[in-house]
């Protein structure tokens, strides 16, 4: 298909995108940001025993009935228990155990009185000047997590709290979905890697860094990264080498209609199935997608802002599907434009912007070959085809990045 809408392009991509069925077990800290691949039930109670939430004395509440400032209830202190210890005995009526925060409540006790509320008499006995209720200052066994309760759901993102919950249950590993295996390759005879000398006519390769950085930011680190000249045969050779080991290949450059736009002969030469070429949008219109075996290829325009925009709009939905992680796709909303955008948009246009508190700001310079003004932008304005101009105060459609 040629000249598809963005929505058609995403549909065509998703038709060829499979959620991974492969999992891996990771140590907890290696799993932060990953997607849990199974439902998990609590194998135990937490806390595993009833415990004291404060420093004080554990005793039987019924022994404080009628107690007051003038006639405190008096207890014999029979021992002491700290967090990490266990009081082996049992308190009878009229007996109390000194207890620290986090220590197990001794047998025979059903409440705790805080240390600041009591005093000791000259005989060293505990004086409690008030009535206590059963289970006052008392943390129940399993009050955080009850044994058997669902603690984690399949496809839940493992944030810090989820890792803490798993740790509190004694798990040191967790099963997560395997991440997509991604390769990025930029093409262009003009490209030079940073660090090398620039000969006349050459430019430094920025796309590789922007896109590989974006993958990392989205939690899909260390994709295979390469750079090739405008040489179709070489590109085919490289794709043949990797297509069995890679789920997704992102290339930049070489998809337009110029003499050196090699991705067309590459797709033909590989006998790959082209899904679409050209998306009705600006920037990034020449984007193309194809499948080569099980590998999905997305060929993006080489212009730095075009490749970034199409990464957000075309690649992220694919990543989200592959990794069972819907939040990896961009969300949309509406916001009030603060600045004017006076350029006419004959085709649908995406403009870099800063979104804050429902307002949307334009950074000024805005062309597909310009990258710097995209720094700090966190949104794209989605301007429909045929829009004359946008003015301050207009409500616009926004893609949040």
> Which residues here bind ligand AMP, judged by CB under 6 A?
186, 188, 190-191, 203, 205-208, 252-254, 256, 258, 301-304, 369
d(CA 40, CA 168): 13
Residue closer to Mg ion (CB basis): 180 or 253: 253
Residue closer to Mg ion (CB basis): 286 or 302: 302
For the bound state, the minimum distance from the C-beta of residue 378 to ligand AMP, rounded and expressed in Å, comes to: 22
d(CA 397, CA 401): 13
Q: What is the DSSP string of 208-258?
A: HHHHHHHHHHTT----EEEEE-S-HHHHHHHHHHHTTT-SEEEEES--SSS
For the bound state, the minimum distance from the C-beta of residue 296 to ligand AMP, rounded and expressed in Å, comes to: 20
For the bound state, the minimum distance from the C-beta of residue 222 to Mg ion, rounded and expressed in Å, comes to: 26
Residue closer to ligand AMP (CB basis): 223 or 254: 254
For the bound state, the minimum distance from the C-beta of residue 211 to ligand AMP, rounded and expressed in Å, comes to: 9
The count of C-alpha atoms lying within 13 angstroms of the C-alpha of 316, restricted to the half-sphere facing its C-beta, is: 23
Q: Among all chains, which residue has been given the structure tokens 């993006």?
A: 300
| Binds Mg ion by CB under 5 A, chosen from 56, 104, 180, 188 | 188
Q: Which phi and psi angles does 230 have, rounded to 5°?
A: -80, 80
Tokens linked to 375: 């720094």
Instruction: Answer yes or no: are the C-beta atoms of 6 and 280 closer than 8 Å.
Output: yes
Q: Which does 106 bind (CB under 5 to 8 A by kind): Mg ion, ligand AMP, none?
A: none
Q: Which phi and psi angles does 114 have, rounded to 5°?
A: -75, 145
The candidate with the shortest Cα–Cα distance to 296, out of 3, 10, 16, is: 16
Residue closer to Mg ion (CB basis): 302 or 317: 302
**253 touches Mg ion by CB under 5 A:** yes
| Binding range to Mg ion, per CB under 5 A, among 53-61, 131-139, 183-191, 316-324 | 183-191
- Length of the chain measured in residues: 401
**286 touches Mg ion by CB under 5 A:** no
Q: Which phi and psi angles does 392 have, rounded to 5°?
A: -50, 135
For the bound state, the minimum distance from the C-beta of residue 290 to Mg ion, rounded and expressed in Å, comes to: 18
d(CA 321, CA 217): 17
H/E element holding 266? helix 263-269
For the bound state, the minimum distance from the C-beta of residue 233 to Mg ion, rounded and expressed in Å, comes to: 16
d(CA 149, CA 309): 43
Residue closer to ligand AMP (CB basis): 371 or 401: 371
Instruction: Answer yes or no: are the C-beta atoms of 103 and 82 closer than 8 Å.
Output: yes
Residue closer to Mg ion (CB basis): 33 or 226: 226
Residue closer to ligand AMP (CB basis): 306 or 351: 306
Distance set, CA 239 to CA 16, 190, 400 (Å): 18, 21, 33
Instruction: Answer yes or no: are the C-beta atoms of 249 and 282 closer than 8 Å.
Output: no
Tokens linked to 267: 């797709």
d(CA 157, CA 137): 34
For the bound state, the minimum distance from the C-beta of residue 352 to Mg ion, rounded and expressed in Å, comes to: 22
Residue closer to ligand AMP (CB basis): 23 or 256: 256
H/E element holding 182? strand 182-187
CB closest to ligand AMP, residue no:
302
Q: Which does 205 bind (CB under 5 to 8 A by kind): ligand AMP, Mg ion, none?
A: ligand AMP
Q: Which does 206 bind (CB under 5 to 8 A by kind): ligand AMP, Mg ion, none?
A: ligand AMP
Q: Which does 366 bind (CB under 5 to 8 A by kind): ligand AMP, Mg ion, none?
A: none
Q: Which does 304 bind (CB under 5 to 8 A by kind): ligand AMP, Mg ion, none?
A: ligand AMP
Residue closer to ligand AMP (CB basis): 162 or 251: 251
For the bound state, the minimum distance from the C-beta of residue 306 to ligand AMP, rounded and expressed in Å, comes to: 7
Peptide bond into 47 cis (omega under 30): yes
Tokens linked to 75: 């207890």
Site residue total, Mg ion (CB under 5 A): 4
Q: Which does 144 bind (CB under 5 to 8 A by kind): ligand AMP, Mg ion, none?
A: none
For the bound state, the minimum distance from the C-beta of residue 386 to ligand AMP, rounded and expressed in Å, comes to: 26
Residue ranges that bind Mg ion, judged by CB under 5 A: 188, 253-254, 302
């Amino acid at each position: 298909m040629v000249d598809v809408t963005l929505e058609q392009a995403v549909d065509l991509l998703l038709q060829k995108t499979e959620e991974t069925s492969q999992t891996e077990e990771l140590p907890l800290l290696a799993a932060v940001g990953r997607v849990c691949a199974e439902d998990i039930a609590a194998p135990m109670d937490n806390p595993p025993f009833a415990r004291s939430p404060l420093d004080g004395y554990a005793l039987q509440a019924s022994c404080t009935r009628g107690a007051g400032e003038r006639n405190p209830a008096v207890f014999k202190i029979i021992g002491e228990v700290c967090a990490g210890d266990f009081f082996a005995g049992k308190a009878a009526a009229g007996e109390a155990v000194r207890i620290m925060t986090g220590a197990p409540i001794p047998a025979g006790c059903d409440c705790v009185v805080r240390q600041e509320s009591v005093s000791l008499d000259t005989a060293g006995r505990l004086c409690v000047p008030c009535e206590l209720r059963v289970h006052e200052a008392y943390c129940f066994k399993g009050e955080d997590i009850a044994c058997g309760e669902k603690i984690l759901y399949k496809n839940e993102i493992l944030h810090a709290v989820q890792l803490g919950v798993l740790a509190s249950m004694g798990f040191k590993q967790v099963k997560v979905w395997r991440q997509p295996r991604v390769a990025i390759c930029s093409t262009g005879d003009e490209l030079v890697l940073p660090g090398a000398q620039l000969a006349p006519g050459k430019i430094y390769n920025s796309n590789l860094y922007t896109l590989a950085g974006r993958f990392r930011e989205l939690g899909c680190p260390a994709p295979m990264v390469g750079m090739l000249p405008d040489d179709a045969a070489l590109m085919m050779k490289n794709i043949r080498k990797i297509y069995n080991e890679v789920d997704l290949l992102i290339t930049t450059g070489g998809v337009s209609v110029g003499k050196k736009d090699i991705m067309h002969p590459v797709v033909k030469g590989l006998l790959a199935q082209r899904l679409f070429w050209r998306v009705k949008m600006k920037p990034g219109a020449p984007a193309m997608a194809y499948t080569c075996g099980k590998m999905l290829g997305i060929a993006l325009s080489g212009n730095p802002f075009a490749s970034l925009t199409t990464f957000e709009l075309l690649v992220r939905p694919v990543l989200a599907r592959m990794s069972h992680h819907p939040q990896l796709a961009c969300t949309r909303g509406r916001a009030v434009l603060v600045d004017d955008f006076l350029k006419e948009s004959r085709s649908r246009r995406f403009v870099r912007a800063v979104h804050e508190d429902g307002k949307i700001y334009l950074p000024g310079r805005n062309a597909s070959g310009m990258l710097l003004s995209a720094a700090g932008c966190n949104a794209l304005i989605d301007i429909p085809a045929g829009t004359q101009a946008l003015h301050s105060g207009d409500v616009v459609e926004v893609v949040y990045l």
